[in-house]
Structure 1
């Protein structure tokens, strides 16, 4: 849902290519969606603070199990706010198309996508956990592949996942480590965990 036709049509095009014809409906507002229809996921693009406040408090959205909020960029405060209102993800418009699609598929599968998830963890009182504890089993596998110097393409082939999904996991690893690049992340995290090849 977005009042910006280009944004709405672009994302709908990416998702239709991945999910098939008829799997995606686009609308400029909740009223256009004829709620309460049965939707697996609603992606909301609020264009102003007042519109965001309306969307977050709209009772019609509460009936939709999975919701993603689009944002101009990564925004810790907005991520916390969306999470507190039951959203499953924050989708920065600065992400590229394949990464957006992978994030949406992750949410459809029951996961969450907050690129700044360590801020969400801190707001839930999990900030005392070590960085490695914030990684899923799959993310630790990706970390081990990164430690061995493998590219995203090589990691995708080894683990049997898409390159876009690898990018999501690499992003989570960088975020957990507070690192600017892969080398820094590996150096900070690899020494804190017993990785598969070492144990």
Structure 2
């Protein structure tokens, strides 16, 4: 990732997200927006990733996100929200948003979701993925994975530990830890066992 736009009306949240992104992509240019109009203006620079809170001054949720997407059509958009409004979230999915992360999640999951979306995937929490599938009449093609994620999921399904996966792939344990978190997030699973099962059912391994 070369650039990231962080959109939230709370300075503390923006700073925390910037620190997280900077820990993984230290060379990324990070910009901050505290309102939707400010986000629209900054999005015109074409960031790679936009991390967007739904409740900000200047527009309602749908119009605010639509404005960001219009200003930066090539950007990947991740919504970070505490809302339980399923209709709103489903509308945003259909508009092309690339991921949703609950505000209550831990930093490891958030980083995994950002990694997944930055790599071209899509992250939907299990509950949202389920209701999205129901709205689409049972179409379950919401799961996609990169070759590396498929490889990691296969090794997870074989019961290998992170240390063993690192040795097999010739990677550092820290890198493998991130890959595993991303792979688990990719299939919307809560743990390694569930990830292996979901990856098998989705035909990823």
Compute the TM-score of the two structures, normalised by the length of structure 1. Answer: 0.69
Matches within 5 A, 1:147-162: 147-159=157-169, 160=171, 161-162=175-176
Superposed, which structure 2 residues align to 1:35-184 within 5 Å? 35=42, 36-47=44-55, 51-58=60-67, 60-64=68-72, 65=74, 66-72=76-82, 77-116=87-126, 117-127=129-139, 134=143, 136=145, 138-159=148-169, 160=171, 161-173=175-187, 175=189, 181-183=191-193
2:9 — aligned with what?
3
Q: Is the 8 A contact 2:123 2:186 kept in 1?
A: no
Distance in 1 between residues matched to 2:152 and 2:29, nearest whole Å:
31
Cα distance change of structure 1 residues 145 and 104 upon mapping to structure 2, 3 Å threshold: same
User: Pairwise CA RMSD of aligned residues?
Assistant: 3.6
Gaps of 5+ in 1: none
Q: Specify the SS of the correspondent of 1:26.
A: strand
One of 16, 24, 31 as aligned partner of 1:18: 24
Distance in 1 separating the partners of 2:62 and 2:201: 43
Three-state SS of the structure 2 residue aligned to 1:106 is helix
Larger Rg computed on CA atoms: 1
Structure 1: how far apart are the matches of 2:87 and 2:138?
17
Cα distance change of structure 1 residues 56 and 169 upon mapping to structure 2, 3 Å threshold: same
Measured after TM superposition, the shift of residue 44 of structure 1 is 0.9
Normalised TM-score (structure 2): 0.68
Separation of aligned partners in 2, 1:188 and 1:110: 19
Q: How many residues align?
A: 186
**1:67-100: CA deviation from partner (whole Å, max 9, x where unpaired):** 1111227876554222112211112223322332
2-structure distance, mates of 1:99, 1:186: 17
Q: CA deviation at 1:28?
A: 0.6
1:80 and 1:120 in contact (8 A); partners too: yes
Cα distance change on mapping 1:135 and 1:86 into 2, 3 Å: closer
Higher helix share: 1
Q: CA deviation at 1:167?
A: 1.5
Q: Which has the higher strand share?
A: 2
1:162/1:123 CA distance change after superposition, 3 Å:
farther
Distance 1:23 1:145, change over 3 A: same
